[in-house]
Structure 1
Amino acid sequence: MIGPWVTGSDYGSDKASRYTRAVVALRGLLALPASEARYYNAATDDSGAPLDGKCRYRLSGGALPAKWWSVTLYDPAGYLVPNAAGIYSVGSAGLPGSEQAAWQVAIGPERTGGHWLPTGGTARFELTLRAYLPSDGGRGNFTAAQLPRLTRIGCA
């Protein structure tokens, strides 16, 4: 565990444990080998509180050591959360070059301006960060300083 982010080093590997294989199968995760993608999941914020769809959060970070990345919001069963805006993920490809070094995304039931990931009214949610083509070739985990911060702003 790195902050709120949980990861496994054997996703997409023939060395994956039975537990990892079960998670991949249950979630329908099309796991690539670590040299092609790293996966980080968060079900809590930076303080350790469960992610609540009625609350507002700020996801903020800098340039990740990967070619590109995305963050997707899921319900606890691993499904995309329906929302009127039709927004299910945010990523580096959608950020202007000027924002790549320092970015932030609002997460919550209502848009507050800027980049936004809607919670769609779900009670609980989880985030999956996918970092594609990591610069270390997938040999290790990112550090806490490299991973985005997930800060609760307030609740309705």
Structure 2
Amino acid sequence: MRFVFHLLLMIAIALGLGFWLSWYALTDGRMFGTVQSGPWTAWPDVGSPTPNPYTRAHLTREAALQLGASEGLEFVATTDSDGQPLDLACTYRLDGHVPVSTFWTLVAVDAEWRNLAAPGTDAALRSSDVIRANDGSMRVEVGRFLAPYSWLELSGSGTFSLVLTLYDSTALTGLSSGTPVMPSITRGACA
């Protein structure tokens, strides 16, 4: 009797763990199909003709039109560099370099991927609009309150994500070396 109980318990644990891992892989999957660089996450197989099963599940769940592998790569940040969720009540500063690309855009979106740009402003901050330091690094301010340098003005409340899309980039291809270094995201003042 004791053997049967232990056998049933092991089967229940195995099934529970299997279902939980499957759910995690299909809903988040960051451990399996993504590349992480600081707070930024990218799915490098999104635009390939034969994505891995985790990327395929991510694409199916998101049901969003994706860029092809030769067109670009999308990095998403839901937290700052300290691991705190991005909140519209706070301002943020992005510092550093963006991987080599012909062009890039930065947008802020909510959980439903609606753009959070303030009314009457550009929907995205473009690489051609960014003020750069002498070494080529950028400093971008993101938030609802006026800030110096390059500024992505937002509206709304709650948590949000930053989406940095690199167009015609060699990041995460065979031509680049390792994981790209992405800009840091530093939290500023909060209202």
**Which TM bucket (shorter chain)?**
0.7 to 0.9
Tell me which of 163, 187, 191 is aligned to 1:128: 163
- Cα 1:4–1:151 shift into 2, 3 Å: same
Which segments of structure 1 move beyond 4 Å, counting only runs of 4 or more? Answer: 96-100
Q: Which protein, 1 or 2, shows the higher relative CO under an 8 Å CA cutoff with sep ≥ 6?
A: 1
- Cα 1:141–1:148 shift into 2, 3 Å: farther
Tell me which of 37, 43, 58 is aligned to 2:72: 37
Q: Which runs of 5+ in 1 are unaligned?
A: none
Residue 64 (str. 1) matches residue 102 (str. 2): no
What letter corresponds to residue 128 of structure 2 in structure 1? Answer: A
Is 2:95–2:138's contact at 8 Å kept on the other side of the alignment? yes
d(CA) in 1 for partners of 2:156 and 2:178?
Answer: 31
Per the alignment, residue 60 of structure 2 pairs with 22
Q: CA deviation at 1:98?
A: 6.3
The share of aligned pairs that are identical, in percent, is: 27
Per the alignment, residue 6 of structure 1 pairs with 41
Give 1:32-111 correspondences, 5 Å limit.
32-33=68-69, 35-95=70-130, 101-111=136-146
d(CA) in 1 for partners of 2:188 and 2:154?
Answer: 14
- Cα 1:155–1:141 shift into 2, 3 Å: farther
d(CA) in 2 for partners of 1:95 and 1:55?
Answer: 21
Per the alignment, residue 12 of structure 2 pairs with none
What letter corresponds to residue 76 of structure 1 in structure 2? Answer: A
Q: CA deviation at 1:77?
A: 1.1
Is 2:131–2:138's contact at 8 Å kept on the other side of the alignment? no
Matched pairs, number: 152
Q: CA deviation at 1:20?
A: 2.5
Which has the larger helix fraction?
2
What letter corresponds to residue 169 of structure 2 in structure 1? Answer: P
What letter corresponds to residue 64 of structure 1 in structure 2? Answer: P
Which has the larger strand fraction?
1
Q: Which runs of 5+ in 2 are unaligned?
A: 1-35
- Cα 1:142–1:92 shift into 2, 3 Å: farther
What letter corresponds to residue 190 of structure 2 in structure 1? Answer: C
d(CA) in 1 for partners of 2:177 and 2:116?
Answer: 28
TM-score normalised by the chain length of structure 1? 0.83
TM-score normalised by the chain length of structure 2? 0.69
